Structure formats: structure tokens, C-alpha cells
Structure 1
């Protein structure tokens, strides 16, 4: 499933893919595939990204427009 907000949040926070990948303890290529929807992102990673960006998992998943 593709969640474009993870790329938008990363860009808005001036982070590089390799920085977010390191935060998640992943290879950059794996994280890139999450951003592009080429690989399904696991629940634990969505939760960690919500913590990193100070937002809700619902926002990341597109279930809410409230950041």
C-alpha cells in the first residue's frame, strides 16, 4: 500500500532518506521502497514514523487530515 505522506513528512522536516532509514534501523533502499509504495510498510515502522514526526498514525495512513 502506498502512503505518500511519509515522503511529504520527511521532506517537510528536511530529512534525507538515509537519516530516516537509520532512525528505523533499516537499509536506505528498504525505506525508499516504503516511500514509493513498492514494499508494504510494517505497522511498527508507521508507529515509529508518527513518533519521529510528532503526528498520528491516522494522519500517515491518510485516515485523518488532522496532523
Structure 2
């Protein structure tokens, strides 16, 4: 799986539109669509915003791991 596929899966799991996510990222639906289809690479600062929004790790979005979050250290 590629990062852009993970972006789409996360969005669809929350029943959100591309327009909804574009508003969160302060961009257009067209630009977000380009990131979600892999036409363009999503800027890192937007990956950080999405990780916070979805409550997942950056590694999960980047498909480095399949674990959406890490366990808090005790």
C-alpha cells in the first residue's frame, strides 16, 4: 500500500469527503485529490495535520507500519 492509498482509506473510514479534508488542510479539493491519487506527493506539514486529525502516527500514514498508533509509555 502506498501513502496515497492510506490517505483515501483513512478518509473513507471516517465517511468524509475530499472537500472535508481539503478544508482541514486549507487547500482545494482538487489539490487534495491529487495527493490522494498519488499524482503529487503530499507535503509533510499536511501529513502531520492529518496524523493529528485521524489520531494516527505519521509512520502509519507513510505506510512504514500497519499499527495506527503507538502505545503510550508508562
Shorter-chain TM range is over 0.9
Higher CA-based Rg? 2
Return the structure number with greater relative CO, CA threshold 8 A, min gap 6: 1
Across the two proteins, how many residue pairs are aligned to each other?
A: 66
User: Post-superposition, which runs of at least 4 consecutive aligned residues in structure 1 deviate over 6 A?
Assistant: none
TM-score where L is the length of structure 1 = 0.95
- The one-character-per-residue Cα deviations of 1:3-48 (angstroms, maximum 9, x if unpaired) are 1100000000111000000000001000000000001110001000
Q: Structure 1: 5+ residue runs without aligned partners?
A: none
Q: Structure 1 or 2: larger helix share?
A: 1
RMSD across aligned positions (CA): 0.7
Q: Which runs of 5+ in 2 are unaligned?
A: 69-74
